[in-house]
Amino acid sequence: MNGAQGVVSTLLEAGVDTCFMNPGTSEMHLVAALDTAPKLRGVLALFEGVATGAADGYARITGKPAATLLHLGPGLGNGLANLHNARRARSPIVNLVGDHAIAHQPLDAPLQSDIETLARNVSTFVRSAATTEGLSGDVLDAVDAAYGPPGSVATLIIPADVSWNEGGVVAQPLVGTTQRGSGNRPDEAPIEAAGAALRGRGRTAFLIGGRACHGKAFQLVAALAARSGARLLCETFPARLERGAGQPTVEQISYLGDFAVAQLSGLQHLVLVDASSPVSFFAYPNKMSELIPTDCVVHQVSKQGDDLLAALEALSSLIDSGEDTSSRAETGRPDLPTGALNASGVAQAIGHLLPEGAIVSDEGNTGGIFVKGSTAGAPQHDWLSLTGGAIGQGLPVALGAAIAAPDRPVIALQADGSALYTAQALWTMAREGLNVTTIILANRSYAVLNMELDQVGAGVPGPRARAMLDLTDPTMDFVSLAKGFGVGASRAETAEAFSEQLRRALAEPGPSLIEAVIPSLL
Amino acid sequence: MNGAQGVVSTLLEAGVDTCFMNPGTSEMHLVAALDTAPKLRGVLALFEGVATGAADGYARITGKPAATLLHLGPGLGNGLANLHNARRARSPIVNLVGDHAIAHQPLDAPLQSDIETLARNVSTFVRSAATTEGLSGDVLDAVDAAYGPPGSVATLIIPADVSWNEGGVVAQPLVGTTQRGSGNRPDEAPIEAAGAALRGRGRTAFLIGGRACHGKAFQLVAALAARSGARLLCETFPARLERGAGQPTVEQISYLGDFAVAQLSGLQHLVLVDASSPVSFFAYPNKMSELIPTDCVVHQVSKQGDDLLAALEALSSLIDSGEDTSSRAETGRPDLPTGALNASGVAQAIGHLLPEGAIVSDEGNTGGIFVKGSTAGAPQHDWLSLTGGAIGQGLPVALGAAIAAPDRPVIALQADGSALYTAQALWTMAREGLNVTTIILANRSYAVLNMELDQVGAGVPGPRARAMLDLTDPTMDFVSLAKGFGVGASRAETAEAFSEQLRRALAEPGPSLIEAVIPSLL
């Protein structure tokens, strides 16, 4: 058994059974080893940013890591933006990066670069495997580091000779995949202070993020908020938020700093649950970056690496018991839109048609601003946000989510400008026959930047500045682009056409794309 | 004047008049400043790897830096692979990366990351601008660092508030753009040793790279080789090689290590001119990475930062004078091909039709192996290679070369798999109306990896490994893809069709793409 064969078998032993890859020569033994480990699913991407984003989407849905396989420093470089987003999402990922054989590294061959330094930017664990005998142990360490909590990117660099030499082993994990630790014991002091504040019934809010936006923790914290009369706020871009009729209603903190300050004004206590105290996404001249009132007291009851459920139970024991009267979203869908298509019409149609159990990968940006509202009363679904602000996440995350949950419909709500960073994801959707409906919100500009130009006080932009934010010269043709990647596509310029195309796309298996032409918001 | 306005005016004063950009919020003042500096040409890219690769192509043709403008760490990450290639090409680039406002950086907003560490991987100069007053001086330092010699990537990180604050200045360069230093004084010892070796008329060769592959240095070294009876070798992937009828003939070192070892066997002295001693591109089991005979003596007469012409003149003074009898490529073109299309036919047609003064951006990889041979006797042209092995360079470099030399025809010779990393370059070609003819060599696989699988001794690949190298499921449709990006395109499946489409594409202005379907090499 060579090192590479040990790696793939060890991944399976540790419960990692999916690898998103864009390999090169230095990873060929790992590719060849796929035939010795038939349960490890290799998913080919045409670009590394697709592979890393897909691993993020996969982790958000399954809660467990996929592996990636990338080609040396440049391959890792291409994957960094979506690893940045994954880092912000606290997604566990086992990031495998091939390297030159150890003796080859000092020779400064063309592809030589400093992989470890690149990896540190996005990883909590970075190791370069030194021996074939130790390689599978390194894999287990990477898997453990990725799981956390908090979940994180663990990067294992594998020199080619460490893969190809004989002496590989199948390492057995000490911890079963279902017995992983639930995190550090939470600090008592902030929990007690938060309990006192909540009992005091001042103007108090919970701010949830990370693991607190779905599953048992989400229900617990919603009940706590109701019992204590506190507001339930959610970070602006949660990694995975459970929504829809019957789910707790949460107020998301606005992306726009001025709106967020208004939302938070008057707050006396903010109880952070897997979230950080809110700051504006960007800084703006003469505006504060910190968004809470200066006299608001912050209580961090669960940090990202803490045992979240233990923290919530401890807090629960400190506040008055009582009924869970938490506000729940009521069932309700908007009517289908009519007439010329715009961002509002797209939102209405999605709200009318969103299937039960859908997963929405939201990189809709400006053109997607109404969709949250229009789907609030739709059947229950998961919402995956752009966590780290590095655009080009939406399509890969949708791809990874669809691999993770083959029986659930996935909708990629995708701004046109952002789609073009990682549009290669469409090809893998076609290759794997994934049930992803991509909706391109074609406003044909970097619309958010037109707004930001004004926000940052850059004055009235001249024609040369405006040209740098404009995508009409030439206008992208997403129907042709999708066809190029093997995905069937259509264009909608009226609300009726969009609704009909969306209905058809959701009904048919496999991927499809709709270019929704939206010259205006309303 | 704010800081951003100072930057754009200072760039112009320093002779930098082109900026390839993909900006975001933190760069909005720099974008707005374009309207205050009309001579600075802003070229928008849909992806950062296009911007950085274009700056590389621009530098290879003009010898001077373009600027880039990228959005924080993730934007730089997306640009890293082509900055890696630029680093290997010794291309001067002024890499501008926006950052959060200084006071915002400690708040760990979603887009916060360690930009400096990322930048170090590819840059000789990294600085984060600290004050608006000093910003334009920082720009000049970055320009100086980029010029070198050796040319390199100089990264200046610009916090948003340093851009937006008042107090910007237009800094004046101390050195005129035409008076830049020509490099360090070369070491005398290796020149004298090389002179003795060349006079001794043993089995001696020059190995040229970098600046020695074009212009005056190229002619000088070819004459030196002829006068001393030495062979003239060239590195495998030169940044810019002048070729065609009348140019010195050079032997390029083979990409395949076994072939290279055979090429170099028996050599007693190797004289390095702007090149490194050759090593194999990858390591392979049981093969040497260093390619020259163990007893071959290496003489480094000009390192990358040295005054190359001074080194060559010093060497010239040490060897017998005599006529320049250097071998020159003879005029000659192949006939047009007929019948089914294959890699050989594509090469013949290009050789038959290559226009005078063309620039070829070569990322043809496996499918392009015959094109060098078929164009050896074509009219003079420049050949730009994939210098750092990070695929996805070809289209962006073609774009940058076309911006640099609007009157010259540019051909992007592009492997299909590699094209898909940065295909967004097509949109910018359409937007700028660039005269680039893209030839996609569609063998519909990562063909080089099939070869490498064998080379690395990974055995006969099983079906699951082969699937990871295969691009037929689904088959990419490059004609549709190009149409999606606004570039007219056609597909050729016969030699006659390819020749006719190539003739038309070269005759017409503006960009076009030909998908050359080549199921086989011959």
Grade residue A108 by pLDDT with cuts at 50, 70 and 90: very high
| Among the listed residues A217, A278, A209, A214, the one whose alpha carbon sits nearest the alpha carbon of residue A241 | A214
Which of A392-401, B92-101, B314-323 shows the lowest mean pLDDT across its residues? B314-323
Q: Do B80 and A80 touch (CB under 8 A)?
A: yes
Q: Do A110 and B103 touch (CB under 8 A)?
A: no
Residue A456 has pLDDT above 90, yes or no: no
Q: Do B81 and A77 touch (CB under 8 A)?
A: yes
pLDDT at B455: 80
Question: Cβ contacts of residue B510 below 8 Å, gap of 6+?
Answer: B430, B433, B434, B435, B488
What is the bridge-based pairing of β-strands A66-71 and A18-21?
parallel
Report the amino acid identity of residue B198: L
Encode pLDDT of B66-120 as tens digits: 999 999 999 999 999 999 999 999 999 999 999 999 999 999 999 999 999 999 9
pLDDT at A178: 64
Closest Cβ opposite residue B461 in set A32, A78, A481? A32
**Nearest chain A CA: its distance from B403 CA (Å):** 17
Q: Do A420 and B28 touch (CB under 8 A)?
A: no
Q: Do A78 and B74 touch (CB under 8 A)?
A: no
Helix orientation angle between B394-404 and B425-432, rounded to the nearest 10 degrees: 20
Q: Do B78 and A161 touch (CB under 8 A)?
A: no
Closest Cβ opposite residue A108 in set B276, B392, B467? B276
Which of A168-177, B23-32, B395-404, B431-440 shows the lowest mean pLDDT across its residues? A168-177
Residue B194 has pLDDT above 80, yes or no: yes
Pick from A8, A28, A164 the residue to mutate for testing the B interface (most B CBs within 10 Å). Answer: A28
Grade residue B323 by pLDDT with cuts at 50, 70 and 90: confident
CA A163 to CA A155: how far, in whole Å? 16
| Among the listed residues A190, A138, A121, the one whose alpha carbon sits nearest the alpha carbon of residue A14 | A138
Residue B448 has pLDDT above 90, yes or no: no
Q: Do A485 and B483 touch (CB under 8 A)?
A: no
Residue B201 has pLDDT above 80, yes or no: no
pLDDT at B452: 83
Q: Do B476 and A484 touch (CB under 8 A)?
A: yes
Q: Do B29 and A456 touch (CB under 8 A)?
A: yes
**Nearest chain B CA: its distance from A451 CA (Å):** 9
Residue B474 has pLDDT above 80, yes or no: yes
CA A456, A461, A464, A469 torsion: positive or negative? positive
Q: Do B461 and A35 touch (CB under 8 A)?
A: yes
What average pLDDT does range A458-479 have in this prediction? 91
Instruction: Check: CB of residue B257 under 8 Å from CB of residue B284.
Output: yes
Q: Give the rounded percent of residues in chain B with a pLDDT score beyond 90.
A: 91
Grade residue A461 by pLDDT with cuts at 50, 70 and 90: confident
Q: Which residue of A has its CA nearest to B83?
A: A74
pLDDT at B501: 98
Strands (E), B331-431: 359-363, 381-385, 410-415
Question: Is-above-0.95 flag for pTM?
Answer: yes
Angle (CA) B159 B165 B166, round 5°:
145
Q: Name the token pair of A227.
A: 């019992």
Q: Name the token pair of B105.
A: 């950086």
From chain B, the residues in CB contact with A32 under 8 A are: 453, 458-459, 461-462, 465
Q: Is A155 helix (H, G, I), strand (E, B) or coil?
A: strand
Domain A343-517 class, CATH top level: alpha beta
Which DSSP string corresponds to B375-399? TTTSSPEEEEE--SS-SS-HHHHHH
Q: Which residue of A has its CA nearest to B110?
A: A388
Which of A455-469, B20-34, B212-226, B335-349 shows the lowest mean pLDDT across its residues? A455-469
CA B433 to CA B510: how far, in whole Å? 5
pLDDT at B178: 64
Integer CA distances (angstroms), A96 to B113, B219, B461, in order: 21, 46, 21
pLDDT at A455: 80
The mean pLDDT of chain A is 95
From chain B, the residues in CB contact with A478 under 8 A are: 484
Q: Do A111 and B388 touch (CB under 8 A)?
A: yes
Integer CA distances (angstroms), A355 to A136, A350, A352, A496, in order: 42, 9, 9, 19
Q: Do B458 and A32 touch (CB under 8 A)?
A: yes
With 0-12 CB in 10 A as exposed, 13-18 as middle and 19+ as buried, what is B392? Answer: buried
Grade residue A356 by pLDDT with cuts at 50, 70 and 90: very high
Grade residue A174 by pLDDT with cuts at 50, 70 and 90: confident
With 0-12 CB in 10 A as exposed, 13-18 as middle and 19+ as buried, what is B137? Answer: middle
Q: Which residue of A has its CA nearest to B113?
A: A121
Angle (CA) B178 B180 B184, round 5°:
150
pLDDT at B459: 77
CA B356 to CA A243: how far, in whole Å? 63
Is the interface score ipTM higher than 0.95? yes
Instruction: Check: CB of residue A240 under 8 Å from CB of residue A386.
Output: no
Give CATH 3.40.50.970 domain extents, chain A: 3-164, 343-517
Q: Which residue of A has its CA nearest to B390?
A: A74
pLDDT at B349: 98
The mean pLDDT of chain B is 95
Pick from B95, B163, B282 the residue to mutate for testing the A interface (most A CBs within 10 Å). Answer: B282
Q: Give the rounded percent of residues in chain B with a pLDDT score beyond 70.
A: 99
CATH, domain range B3-164: 3.40.50.970
Residue B218 has pLDDT above 90, yes or no: yes
CA B144 to CA B14: how far, in whole Å? 9
Integer CA distances (angstroms), A171 to A6, A155, A329, in order: 8, 18, 47
Residue A362 has pLDDT above 90, yes or no: yes
pLDDT at B36: 94
Residue A104 has pLDDT above 90, yes or no: yes
Residue A4: CB atoms within 10 A of its CB come to 29
Integer CA distances (angstroms), B140 to B91, B124, B127, in order: 17, 15, 12
Q: Do A481 and B478 touch (CB under 8 A)?
A: no
Encode pLDDT of B368-393 as tens digits: 999 999 999 999 999 999 999 999 99
Q: Give the rounded percent of residues in chain A with a pLDDT score beyond 70.
A: 99
Residue B487 has pLDDT above 90, yes or no: yes
Closest Cβ opposite residue A25 in set B160, B282, B463? B282
Q: Is B339 helix (H, G, I), strand (E, B) or coil?
A: coil
**β-bridge mates for residue B415, sequence order:** B441
CA B19 to CA B68: how far, in whole Å? 5
pLDDT at B236: 97
Q: Is A308 helix (H, G, I), strand (E, B) or coil?
A: helix
Q: Which residue of A has its CA nearest to B49?
A: A78
Report the amino acid identity of residue B34: L
Residue A221 has pLDDT above 90, yes or no: yes
pLDDT at B177: 64
Which DSSP string corresponds to B230-241? -EEEE-SS-S-E
CA A448 to CA A229: how far, in whole Å? 36
- Which CATH architecture is the domain B188-316 placed in? 3-Layer(aba) Sandwich (3.40)
Q: Which residue of B has its CA nearest to A83?
A: B74
Encode pLDDT of B257-270 as tens digits: 999 999 999 999 99
